[in-house]
Amino acid sequence: MLTAFYHLLLRDLRLALRSPHELANPLIFFVLVVSLFPLAVSPTPDALRQMAPGVIWVSALLSVLLSLDRLFKQDYEDGSLDQLMLSPNPLMILVLAKVFAHWLLTGLPLVLIAPLLGLFMSVPNHALPALIFSLLLGTPVLSLIGAIGVSLTVAVNRGGVLLSLIVLPLYIPILIFGANAVDVAMDGMRVSGQLLFLGAVLALALSLAPLATAVALRITAAR
């Protein structure tokens, strides 16, 4: 199972690197939204600091949502998804490999660029670790939950709107606690409660999301 996990992860990374423009789209979207937001509001440091947690987290959420469509769609269209389901390896392990590859290509770059955008939005230096850790715990959950939505809509042509309707309500708790962690850190208070909640949700998502995704893929592929 570990060998299958490794080879599928490596395959998805190699395929993604062949289309660097698609790979860069979520990151460019993230940077543009955060960078352009001050133009629509007061660019004073106090105003930016107050809005920074929500702006950064909403932009990260939408960037992940923008990239979800390629998680299983290409495999469904070229028949690779059928081969994965016929594999002797557990489908949930293969799903976890694809989700991990998606996070490495989408979520991790957002985590790495977020401190620079936080400084741009006047986030204090002492709050940057909370921003990094909240995104580090929250973005994998976004990918895991998004995989469930993609598996339900993989056979639907232009299912982007339906995908958004499915996953956005499930994203709301992650958005609230992630942004609140940064907000509380900027006030100089402890953020252990928010980070523990995000960690607990990540553990729950790692346990249940691959199984739910595998079941949904078998249902949609059977149609």
Distance CA 73, CA 145 (A): 16
Distance CA 151, CA 197 (A): 26
For each successive 10 residues of the chain (223 residues), what is the average pLDDT? 84 84 88 88 83 93 89 80 82 91 93 93 92 95 93 77 87 94 91 94 94 88 59
| Number of domains observed in the structure of the chain | 1
pTM for the structure as a whole = 0.91
Range of the domain at 14: 2-221
Closest CA to 172 of 81, 44, 54: 54
Distance CA 3, CA 105 (A): 21
CB within 8 Å of 190: residues ≥ 6 apart: 184
Q: For 140-181, how does the pLDDT look when each residue is reduced to its tens digit (9 = 90+)?
A: 999 999 999 998 888 777 667 788 888 999 999 999 999 999
Structure-token pair, residue 174: 């992650």
Structure-token pair, residue 177: 């606690």
Look up tokens 């609230």; give the residue. Answer: 176
Distance CA 45, CA 146 (A): 34
Residue 155, SS3?
coil
